[in-house]
Structure 1
Amino acid sequence: MNTWKPICHLHDIPLLGARRVARARGMDVALFRTANDEVFALLDRCPHKGGPLSQGLVFGRSVACPLHHWTIGLASGQAHAPDEGCTPVFQVQVVEGVIQLLQQELDEHALDLAPPVAGPCAKRIAIIPNPAPA
């Protein structure tokens, strides 16, 4: 059974803005609001290098990734040509000004994608169990 989970009010997301929805498991979901009050939900991960789409610029029915400016369609999650790739889409509805997502998708959709690890601490090191004194 598909149960819709209330997330927030439409006015909680600024026009041409985004908000992140934390999940119990998996990466966050990004909610986007267009200038026409359309609302879309994507996994908060660009298909290129994993950039946080919720921090990108919303224009029309697209978002530009903040890392490398890939343009991602909000309705499809598809990168616009010449770029290729897709980010998972979540179903969303707005009822009486309340944005809702499907609970089953929040619990089960796109759990296999790991958040990107970047920067000077991107590599993990093994902890030596009993290091010898220097």
Structure 2
Amino acid sequence: MKNKDGFTLVEIMFAVAIIGLLASIGIPSILHAFENAKDKTKQSHIATIEKAKSMLTLPELVYAYGRSLEDGAEFGEGDYTEENLMACIHTAETLEELKVDDNYLVPGNIGTKAYYTKTQPAYAR
């Protein structure tokens, strides 16, 4: 009998089956991790905007800059502008930079929480 190098068909089929099983377990986990990362990024951006909105209503800022942001102040009116809001945030220059995939961040008014939407808001036009 001659010694033959190589693998048998059964060995190759067994290896392919194991690789397929590992891939079927691993790929959904990786895709789920990407979605979780996007959600955490959105939550972080919303928290940043909420912090900036609260900074805009600090008594020291109202006194120093004459800002009178009251509950219900609409974004883009009076002193509640993108420029003033972004001045309180050091990680981004514009709200457009806080876009995640095709979702836009809407800062909301002073009394409501920021949120993400697929509809392009006025500041992004």
- Both structures adopt the same fold (TM-score exceeding 0.5): no
TM-score normalised by the chain length of structure 1 = 0.24
Query: Which has more helix, going by share of residues?
Result: 2
The structure with the larger Rg is 2
Higher relative contact order (CA 8 A, sep 6+): 1
Would you tell me which structure has more strand in proportion to its own residues? 1
